[in-house]
Structure 1
Amino acid sequence: IIDKEKLARSGMIPTQIMLGLQNAGKTVNAGNYENGDDRLQLRVNNELEDEKDIADLHIRFTGGKLVRLGDIATVERSYKEPQTKGFFVNGKPSLGICITLSDDAIVPDVGKEVDKKLAEVMERVPVGFETDKIFFQADQVTNAVNGFLINLLESVLIVIVVLMFSYGFRGGMIIGTSLVLAIFVSFPILLMAGSTLQRISLGAFIVAMGMLVDNAIVVMDGILVDRKRGLGPKSYLYNIVNNTALPMLGATVIAVLTFLPTYISKSTAGEYCRDLFLVLCISLLASWVMAMVQVPSCVVAWMPLRSKKKQADNGEVKDTKLQAFVRKLIGKLIDFRYATIGVMVVLLLLCGFGFTKVKQVFFPDFDYGQFVVEYYLPDQTSPDRVREDLLNITNTLLKNPKIDRVTAAMGSSPTRYSFVRPMNSGGNHYGEMIIDCKDFKTMKAVIKEIRPQLRAAYPDAYIRFRNYNFSITTTHTVEVAFQGPDPEVLRDLSHQAEAIMRSSKYADVYSVQNNWQPKGKSIVTNYIQTDALRSGLNRENVANALLAATDGMPVGIISDQDKKVIVQMQVRNEDGSKIQNISTIPVWSTLNLHVTPDDFKRLLMGITTVEELESRLTNSIPLSTVNSDIHLEWEEDYIFRRNGQRTIEAECDPNPDLEDATPKKVAADIKKAIEAIELPQGYSMSWEGEGSSSGNAAGSIIGLFPLAFLFILVIMLLLFNSWKQVLIVVFCLPFILVGIVPALLLIGMPFTFIAILGAMGLVGMMIKNGIVLIDEINRLCKEEKLPAYDAVVNATVSRTSPVIMASLTTILGMAPLVPDPMYGSMAVCIMSGLAMGTLIILVFLPILYSTIFKVKKPKAA
């Protein structure tokens, strides 16, 4: 640190100090000394190693005078100022360790090894140091997997208990065994297919629960019915398998194909949900094999065989009360088929309109008890202010009993530790806090509580709250981008869009901004080249002088064991404070070669003395000598470009105080006004944010659904050999909305990307049930020569129990997932859609079949 007054009086220039430091700290090559067979490296010692060596360094000034650097400057070691990076846990300075896993790593096992190693390290660490797990993926994975295993176990037990009530203890155990075996057989095959045990794969088993038992229920129900009809073992064990094997295989493959788009999609969402297809494909095919082989085998082993009775009840089985009701209902509705179809169409239209009122969220939040607070101050705010605010906020938050821990980071996110949150490199004006609560529910309450408090306490800061969410890929959820050449025109377009956003009741007014931020201030020195050249100076000399007087000018490097330490030169006031009057900052030349021939003539003629010439060569001059004025200018700090074009984005988030406010609703509310903004020639507008990213992700999957649907149509056509029968099943599919929409509106659940996958699964279940029912109608008409009306009614009655039981087991099996933040909306969709789907298959499909094939009720004799 050099005193500017001493610098002006001493006749020295900082360049001489810089050269002295560089020569003393320079790495030099002294060659090698050869002695016989030995070749020894030569090394010159006395390198600079610490601040004491720098203080003892002698500098040769003009005139040959040697001066000890410590006598003319203060040499000290300190941290770089201001502090721009920092990491704090509960207000205490900390160091973060980030561990990246290899592709084949088993996360919980790695977590155990890390815990073990950390315990060993802490035994050698001095007292007073502590460790904390800020984000430990092993714990997250273990908790998620354990929770889902419990949900899976609950679902399996619920399904088995329900089946026991319907098919008796032995029948329920046989179907339950089929379910358990299908699940266990799937695990080794999934391992070979590259799948892993995680949320999606475990959730897929719960999604498939009803379909996994459906095949076994059909076979078991057929065996029990044939036993009641008095058929012998060879008949009742063989008939149902023979009659349903092919249609059930086709229906099973169709159920799998509905999830094919998630497997072949190249999007991030498709990659995340890839295991959904693998689990369903392997487990459903395994369930078909179990239904064909295991169920009949267990019937032989666990249920006493019955010999064939002689025409027991003429081979007929009396309807149960439920079957009698269905038979009577179908008969009545066929008489009013057009009215029934009309009512269903009206309900579908109403639910189609109601779907526009359902809350739309692309991806639900993960159920972590942790959230992130992003803290932005104006761009040119001192990092010291950021540090002070983060520590003050930490102290305030820790007084809240609902908050367990506050981790703060300056300048950027602490490290890239999670895939499901954005990692910000916000700059010196940015800080963030990772806040831990007891659980997800508590976290939601804490955000609602502290959001208004922090925003009110720090009005000049921009504070955002983020949950962990797979869909977060943009800075804001609603973004409108303008592209064009002129920054001023772009700012005007953005301001128009921002005003529109503020006018929307669904938008959070606080969050409205643009990604360029306000213009920044700069202090500009008006450099005069002619005056500078007369003084032997240039622009670089002026910039170096300003740097030394402000942040500090790097002038060398010293080696401190295995570290390199930067040596900075700072020019300060006599008391060590920074120079406030910029015009008085001393400026010096780094070359001192600007001496003219006239100067030497005057020296030889005695007009100029040696001392005067030496003073001219060595003395610094104030900045005002080579500068006409110093003024403030406003300029763009950030100009973002996309594809080489200047791009500004107007941004906002949904209003957190409105339950029905979503990014999609905000965008819909402002779309007309935004798109009405008049764009000059050469400018363009596009929608970004969550709507764009979710649209791309969902579009990449939904866009592939026609391919899967084509395969489905081909399989149905091969099974039925009739386009009419194929279209009957297809026409039934949209009516699942009649079940889904009212349930979502009533419960207040959003329709998420996961719910879309659930709806796709519903389509597979509906098609599967429809195929088996129509195939039974065809069999009764062809093999048993029943009239079309009797075939429709009898087939529907025979399918009543299997369809209801498969639906009931699926609905109850999904119940444990309803509270889950990620799978809750999907569970509600499947439960409500399947409940309505059961009515559609058992009531609406027979009516539609009777209408299209003009089936008439026979007249009473």
Structure 2
Amino acid sequence: MRTEKIFFQPDKVEDAIYSFMWNLIESVLIVILVLIFTMGFRSGLIIGFGLILTVAVSFPILLVCGTTLQRISLGAFIVAMGMLVDNAVVIMDGILIDKKRGLPPKKYLYRIGQNTAMPLLGATIIAASTFLCVYLSPDSAGEYAGDLFLVLCVSLLASWVLALVQVPVCARTWLPIRERTAGNDQGAVMNSPIHKFIRNTISKLIGYKKITIGIAFAILILCIAGMGKVKNLFFPDFDYKQYVIECFFPSATSPDVVRDNLLDMSNLLSQRKDIERIAVSQGSAPAHYCLVRPMTSGGDCYGELIIDCKDYKTVVKQIPEVRRMLREKYPDAYIRCRKYNFSISTSHTVEVEFAGPDPAVLKELSNKAEDIMRRCKYVDPYSVQNNWKPYSKSYVVKYLQQDALRSGIGRSDIGNALMAATDGMPVGMITNQDKTIVVNMLVRNEDGSRISDLNDIPVWSMMNLHLSNDEFNSAISGGKGMSELQDKIFRSTPLSRVAKGITMEWDEDVVMRLNGQRVIEAECDPNSEIDEATPAKVVESIKKDVEAIELPAGYSMRWVGEGELQKDAIANLMKYVPLTIFIILAILLLLFNSWKKVFLILICFPYVFCGIVPSLLITNQPMTFMAIIGMMGLIGMMVKNAIVLVDEINRLQTEEKKSPYTAVVEATVSRVRPVLMASLTTIVGMLPLVTDPMYNSMAITIMGGLAVGTLITLILLPIFYTVLFNIKKI
């Protein structure tokens, strides 16, 4: 006998960690190279060294916090890459500017840290708190992605500490002490082409504030309306190189026929060169072989094939071909190909549930919903069904309760007698090495033939014991033989004495119940050959017609499937959003002590949709749960940049006594390099995730949102500031 691993989770974890470690290393190297080319060799090395230290310091702290090394925790480092270098970029940029101004080392090494330490800390806490609702979410999605908060919280706080300590120390050692400049004013220092462009753009747009804000608002409305065009796929598939073919044969199919068909399918598919291994299971899915797919149990008429390919791309390419081939060759079977997905509690992605007392009425309601599903162009017609099995023939006995009770016969006794007189009643099991043999008790005529008239079959029960006091005392004293009592206990009664008759009728083979109430689900899957067909699109198309089905009194309808999981996950996230908002507002008020400035920062949030929506539409990526988390991360990144900019405007007005207009323009120009560097490092750091099936939607969301977010911070936010504080152009 030879054993093989069908699905070994440690191997999957090891492969995922190995792949993500390389993604993390690639991301760090890309970010360091970008910093070297944009900020200079030595400055880039200082920030890159700080980034490596941040990641290295975070791992032992996360170990103490109980965080494990897996895709979410490693992916969180890549998501936070731009934010991790942002603190260091702000400090390094301030050091370089003050150094060019000719300030002494004791001044230029520490002045920027003293000015921005608290704003950077507040921005860092806000950036981490945007993921707090994911960590606190009690559902499976929150448990899966909750490590994002811990990783970001630890790594961002570590980056803040290292930016204030490591960057000045390394700058003192690695940079020349002094640098000659052509001039000492800020304009001469920050006079590169990009600085000139931002300065001139802001100066011109401040003169056309109403037009600028009107155009920005119109673009925002257009992009929010465009969200309806973005595909909605809440849980992305796992990129495992294995998939499952579920086969449901007609209910009357013999187990031997099911076995032969499964083996034929296996032989047919094994001829394909892109398939590495096929495992066959009959009756149900292998017990607990994987936690990210449902334990399908279809009885004797069910079987499945577990297919291994060389990689995930092969799985995606192969599934449509295999599905089409098997459905054509086995038209009587219901065949589905399923990839591994986080929504394991549903059999189909679109499900509508009807509840009520009468099975016939429930079946009629389900048929109406199924007809609506079949007419929808986004639905795979083959997938439409309900979760009750088809009608099957069964024996119906008209039970005479009074006569049966007098004979000590219960309903279950009649069922056991019918099984024994027909196919056999299981009474035990015999194990022979690796084989298990079921022992059936058969009731037959004396010659071994079947009983032709089922009305004459014997029905027995332990309840047949009826002893008088004299018989009981005689048994105790030994006057009456125990063999006589045993015969009396196990005596049988003809079925005709406890039942009026027996007939063969069509009946429901399976009736599902939920909380004690009969329920039926009409279910379907999107058409995989139509690109825009997603579960959300299907529900949107059929919802009006399905909800228009008239329900009798005592019956109810609700949407389940992936939509229910999405609704629960979003509800659990939204439950803690007020806490996140409270933390953001509290920190902003502590920093600025002005509701106007808090409002100024908050009104910039919605404009990230101007980058998210076009990016998702252009790349044809869906809005997934991970993309929603990416949007939360964007809020933290936007707030971080806005806080430092607004704080610099305040400092220029209060400490350097500059006019409001000059303070707005010069503060924005001073933030050009830190904002561009943080955005650029985040965007290029996301590149390794673009090809990852789970993280690609998040990567596209952050990259697109941050690209536009840079323009919002450097152009739109200063315009809003001049409007709120009524600043005129000089």
TM-score normalised to structure 2 length: 0.90
Answer with 473-482 or 801-810: which moved more. 473-482
Using a 3 Å threshold, how does the CA distance of structure 1 residues 784 and 637 change in structure 2: closer, same or farther? same
1:745 aligns with 2:617: yes
1:642 aligns with 2:514: yes
Contact 1:477 1:653 in 2 (8 A): yes
Q: Which residue of 2 aligns with 1:202?
A: 74
Counterpart residue type for residue 725 of structure 1: K
Contact 1:362 1:471 in 2 (8 A): no
Contact 1:542 1:587 in 2 (8 A): no
Following superposition, the deviation at residue 430 of structure 1 comes to: 1.4
Q: 1:803 aligns with which of 675, 688, 700?
A: 675
Contact 2:131 2:148 in 1 (8 A): yes
SS in 1 for 2:229: coil
Q: 1:464 aligns with which of 325, 328, 336?
A: 336
Q: Quote the Cα distance in structure 2 between the aligned partners of 1:213 and 1:536.
A: 82
Q: 2:420 aligns with which of 548, 552, 572?
A: 548
Counterpart residue type for residue 403 of structure 1: I
Following superposition, the deviation at residue 760 of structure 1 comes to: 0.4
SS in 2 for 1:494: helix
1:277 aligns with 2:149: yes
Q: Quote the Cα distance in structure 1 between the aligned partners of 2:177 and 2:61.
A: 35
1:693 aligns with 2:562: no
The one-character-per-residue Cα deviations of 1:154-212 (angstroms, maximum 9, x if unpaired) are: 01000101111122111000000110101100000000000010000000000000000
Following superposition, the deviation at residue 552 of structure 1 comes to: 2.4
1:218 aligns with 2:90: yes
Q: Which residue of 1 aligns with 2:353?
A: 481
Q: 2:394 aligns with which of 522, 528, 532?
A: 522
Q: 2:685 aligns with which of 813, 827, 830?
A: 813
Following superposition, the deviation at residue 379 of structure 1 comes to: 2.9
Following superposition, the deviation at residue 687 of structure 1 comes to: 1.0
Following superposition, the deviation at residue 223 of structure 1 comes to: 0.4
Q: Quote the Cα distance in structure 2 between the aligned partners of 1:435 and 1:557.
A: 32
Q: Which residue of 1 aligns with 2:8?
A: 136
Q: 2:632 aligns with which of 726, 750, 760?
A: 760
Q: Which residue of 1 aligns with 2:596?
A: 724
1:430 aligns with 2:308: no
Q: Quote the Cα distance in structure 2 between the aligned partners of 1:563 and 1:131.
A: 15
Q: Which residue of 2 aligns with 1:587?
A: 457
1:830 aligns with 2:708: no
Following superposition, the deviation at residue 345 of structure 1 comes to: 0.9
Contact 1:256 1:280 in 2 (8 A): yes
Q: Which residue of 1 aligns with 2:469?
A: none
Q: Quote the Cα distance in structure 2 between the aligned partners of 1:587 and 1:194.
A: 65
Using a 3 Å threshold, how does the CA distance of structure 1 residues 556 and 459 change in structure 2: closer, same or farther? closer
Q: Which residue of 1 aligns with 2:483?
A: none
Following superposition, the deviation at residue 132 of structure 1 comes to: 2.1
Q: Which residue of 1 aligns with 2:225?
A: 353
Contact 1:263 1:277 in 2 (8 A): yes
Counterpart residue type for residue 169 of structure 1: F
1:335 aligns with 2:210: no
Structure 2 segments unaligned to the other structure (5+ residues): 466-489
Q: 2:55 aligns with which of 159, 176, 183?
A: 183
Q: Which residue of 2 aligns with 1:857?
A: 729
SS in 2 for 1:688: strand
Following superposition, the deviation at residue 644 of structure 1 comes to: 2.4
SS in 2 for 1:428: helix
Q: 1:500 aligns with which of 372, 396, 401?
A: 372
Using a 3 Å threshold, how does the CA distance of structure 1 residues 808 and 562 change in structure 2: closer, same or farther? closer
The one-character-per-residue Cα deviations of 1:505-532 (angstroms, maximum 9, x if unpaired) are: 1112111111223222113467899999
Answer with 459-468 or 536-545: which moved more. 536-545
Following superposition, the deviation at residue 546 of structure 1 comes to: 4.0
1:789 aligns with 2:661: yes
Q: Quote the Cα distance in structure 1 between the aligned partners of 2:87 and 2:430.
A: 76
Using a 3 Å threshold, how does the CA distance of structure 1 residues 315 and 800 change in structure 2: closer, same or farther? closer
Counterpart residue type for residue 395 of structure 1: N
1:249 aligns with 2:117: no
SS in 2 for 1:231: coil
Q: Quote the Cα distance in structure 1 between the aligned partners of 2:679 and 2:409.
A: 87
Contact 1:230 1:310 in 2 (8 A): no
Following superposition, the deviation at residue 494 of structure 1 comes to: 1.4
Following superposition, the deviation at residue 572 of structure 1 comes to: 6.9
SS in 2 for 1:548: helix
Following superposition, the deviation at residue 729 of structure 1 comes to: 1.0
1:365 aligns with 2:237: yes
Aligned CA RMSD, in angstroms, stands at 3.2
SS in 2 for 1:431: strand
Using a 3 Å threshold, how does the CA distance of structure 1 residues 757 and 664 change in structure 2: closer, same or farther? same
Q: Quote the Cα distance in structure 1 between the aligned partners of 2:344 and 2:408.
A: 56
Q: Quote the Cα distance in structure 1 between the aligned partners of 2:203 and 2:445.
A: 102
Q: Which residue of 2 aligns with 1:673?
A: 545
Counterpart residue type for residue 641 of structure 1: R
Following superposition, the deviation at residue 637 of structure 1 comes to: 2.0
Following superposition, the deviation at residue 271 of structure 1 comes to: 0.9
Q: Quote the Cα distance in structure 1 between the aligned partners of 2:298 and 2:676.
A: 56
Q: Quote the Cα distance in structure 2 between the aligned partners of 1:465 and 1:565.
A: 32
Paired residues for 1:432-451 under 5 Å: 432-451=304-323
Q: Which residue of 1 aligns with 2:37?
A: 165
Q: Quote the Cα distance in structure 2 between the aligned partners of 1:434 and 1:149.
A: 29
Following superposition, the deviation at residue 472 of structure 1 comes to: 2.7
Contact 1:232 1:308 in 2 (8 A): no
Following superposition, the deviation at residue 559 of structure 1 comes to: 9.5
Q: Quote the Cα distance in structure 2 between the aligned partners of 1:806 and 1:445.
A: 38
SS in 1 for 2:683: helix
Q: Quote the Cα distance in structure 2 between the aligned partners of 1:532 and 1:335.
A: 97
SS in 2 for 1:422: coil
Contact 2:420 2:441 in 1 (8 A): yes
The one-character-per-residue Cα deviations of 1:311-334 (angstroms, maximum 9, x if unpaired) are: 845895251011001111111111
Q: Which residue of 1 aligns with 2:278?
A: 406
Using a 3 Å threshold, how does the CA distance of structure 1 residues 561 and 364 change in structure 2: closer, same or farther? closer
Q: Kindly name which structure, 1 or 2, has the bigger radius of gyration based on alpha carbons.
A: 1
Q: Quote the Cα distance in structure 2 between the aligned partners of 1:620 and 1:328.
A: 103
Using a 3 Å threshold, how does the CA distance of structure 1 residues 269 and 553 change in structure 2: closer, same or farther? closer
Contact 2:458 2:495 in 1 (8 A): no
Counterpart residue type for residue 42 of structure 2: R
SS in 1 for 2:279: strand
Following superposition, the deviation at residue 378 of structure 1 comes to: 2.8
Q: Which residue of 2 aligns with 1:320?
A: 192
Using a 3 Å threshold, how does the CA distance of structure 1 residues 523 and 846 change in structure 2: closer, same or farther? same
Using a 3 Å threshold, how does the CA distance of structure 1 residues 851 and 543 change in structure 2: closer, same or farther? closer
SS in 1 for 2:300: coil
Q: Quote the Cα distance in structure 2 between the aligned partners of 1:473 and 1:628.
A: 44
Q: 1:512 aligns with which of 381, 384, 403?
A: 384
Contact 1:478 1:651 in 2 (8 A): yes
Using a 3 Å threshold, how does the CA distance of structure 1 residues 255 and 314 change in structure 2: closer, same or farther? closer
Using a 3 Å threshold, how does the CA distance of structure 1 residues 624 and 468 change in structure 2: closer, same or farther? same
Q: Quote the Cα distance in structure 2 between the aligned partners of 1:820 and 1:307.
A: 45
Q: Quote the Cα distance in structure 1 between the aligned partners of 2:400 and 2:574.
A: 65
Contact 2:348 2:524 in 1 (8 A): yes
Q: Quote the Cα distance in structure 1 between the aligned partners of 2:632 and 2:404.
A: 75
1:454 aligns with 2:333: no
User: What is the percent sequence identity of the aligned residues?
Assistant: 58
Counterpart residue type for residue 765 of structure 1: M
Q: Quote the Cα distance in structure 1 between the aligned partners of 2:215 and 2:572.
A: 35
Counterpart residue type for residue 366 of structure 1: F
Q: 1:303 aligns with which of 162, 175, 184?
A: 175
The one-character-per-residue Cα deviations of 1:749-775 (angstroms, maximum 9, x if unpaired) are: 111100111110001000000000111
Following superposition, the deviation at residue 582 of structure 1 comes to: 4.2
Contact 2:455 2:502 in 1 (8 A): no
